[in-house]
Chains A and B, each alone.
Chain A
Amino acid sequence: MKNEIQKKKWVRENLRSYSLLLPNLLLFLVFSVYPVFWTLKYVFFRYGGFASGDPVFVGLDNLIRVFRDALYWKSVKNTFVYAGAKILFTIPLAFLLALFLSRKKKGNAFFQSVIFVPTIMSSAVMGLVFYLLFNVYNGQINQYLLGTGIISQPINWLGKDHAMKTLVITAVWGGVGNYMVYFIAGLQQISEDALESARIDGANRLQTMWYITIPMLGPILKIILMLSITAAFSDMNTVMVLTEGGPTNATMVMALYGYQFFFPVSVGSVVSFQYGYGAAVSTVNAIIAGMVTILYLKLSKKLDEVY
């Protein structure tokens, strides 16, 4: 009898829990779990959409094709170049800004808010603005550079030779404020006591920074770098709007490479619908990004041992 009551209570409590969880759980299952399984399934199929008939099982063909696809590996290389350059510029700039702007000084809170502004804006809309700014003949950047005599010929910012640089500039613009805020949070966790005692021991500001601030920032720097790596590998909005991966794939990144088998990159561009192959590309993308993250975590652990 008692058991019966306990059982009823147990069922009721579980039902209550699930009633609270359900709205999110449904969203999670439909929009997060289901697409992953869909993608993993279609890695093994050839499928071109309703019009081209039923999906055909092709085993590992799609994955083999990914490894032989020279254009795909070019997009992987581009992604590494893009991510590397973005991180190389963003992180030091963000660190210096955090260091200077976290000092209790008049105006610093205001400057922090200003530097953070790009983070809240649409990267697609700003991609369009940068597209206008960097336009060869009509863009304001070239107008200024020509007007002041710094250059005599307009620079083709979005051409084959410079498109990647322009993309990185745009990405740095959008990213600095974000990482600055992370660094400021890290700096606030460093105890005043440590800094104080270093100062009492006669360390100057540069020494305090080098021997106290930077080592104590270590753990948070690790997180910041990891976040910046994962973000840089999935960046796609700006590329899509600014360069569309071009010219001639000079800025094709791996996220966009997978995308183009499913959807048009720009209005009016033709898609060769290859859902199976696109799924394979995306899966390999996720594996590469995951491997880079793991490699980085291993490497940063090694560094811990050295220090």
Chain B
Amino acid sequence: MKSKRFIMESFIYLFIMIMVVFTLYPIIYTVLGSFKSNSELTLGSGFFPEQWRIENYKQAFIQADFTKYTINSILVSVCAMILATVTTSLAGFTFARRDFVGKKLLLSMYVSLMFVALGSVTLYPIYTLLSSMNLHKSPAGLVLALVGGQASNVMLVMGFVKGIPKELDEAAIIDGCSVYGVFFKIILPLIKPILAVVALFSFRSAWNDYITTLIMSISQPNLKTLTVAVVQLKYSANAAAEWNIMLAGASIAIIPILIVYFLCNKQFIGGLTAGAVKG
């Protein structure tokens, strides 16, 4: 009986190990490959680089202009994160706690549009609208396009606020707080956990975004972020000779988000289920 159990445990362990290797392999390939020479990559070589070539990064940052794209990525992602968090927290609070004209209609619009999956086509009217407002040339336009309507995040915050006892608001109002006071003094400190989730996820999606940024940067190459710039190396004239630069670029794009993840992986994993399973 004991040995049967041991065999089963070994199979489970083997399965987990296979999945861990499958998961990590492309990432390790990227990071180690970013230190290899191009011929090591294309002709095959050992697991580790023969020589750790920091030059790849130097080349990526200087020749391929990755310094600029890194700054763009940070700027755009941080702004998108702030805008998303501020606007969704205010709206989620309002929907959860306030009565106002048109609330039912607006709520049903928010919910139903979460299910309309028209896809990236909607980026065309967004792009033309932004350019008619002359915003398509500035990072501000890109941030706005990346943040978008935020319907599902608003619903997420709303659900969280509803879980807070209403008596707290009422007590504050009796004590002479205005609506704004209730929001900033009572609600805001209590919804920090869900705001951390919204912040983290909007930072991630802005940092990782490909299609929106690609479209916004077609006519404005100086708006490119790391993600777009890395992928476009695939189409550069001597792409076949620059695998090491591609992997250095890919590492520059993924390492910051990996660091963020390892600093707050509890929020990432917890936030995912807060959004999906309860929502």
Contact = CB atoms under 8 A, between A and B. Distances in A.
Interface residues of B, number: 92
B179 interface: yes
Contacts of B29: 129, 133, 140
B210 A126 contact: no
B215 interface: yes
Majority secondary structure, A binding face: helix
B128 to A, nearest CB: 9
Given A17-B98, A20-B90, A114-B20, A125 B277 contact: no
B120 interface: yes
A173 B115 contact: no
Contact of B211 (A21, A35, A237, A293): A237
Given A36-B113, A147-B44, A117 B211 contact: no
A31 B109 CA distance: 13
A16 B181 CA distance: 12
B119 A285 contact: yes
Interface residues of A, number: 92
Contacts of B16: 97, 100-101, 111
Contacts of A114: 20, 23-24
B151 A14 contact: no
Given A28-B150, A122-B254, A125-B227, 12 more contacts: A23-B86, A31-B144, A120-B208, A120-B261, A120-B268, A121-B208, A122-B207, A124-B231, A128-B231, A184-B273, A185-B273, A186-B277
Interface of A: 13-14, 16-18, 20-21, 23-25, 27-28, 30-36, 38-39, 93, 96-97, 100-101, 111-133, 137-138, 140, 143, 147, 173, 176-178, 181-182, 184-186, 220, 223, 227, 230, 233-234, 236-237, 240-241, 255, 258-259, 262-264, 266-268, 275, 278-279, 282-283, 285-286, 289-290, 293
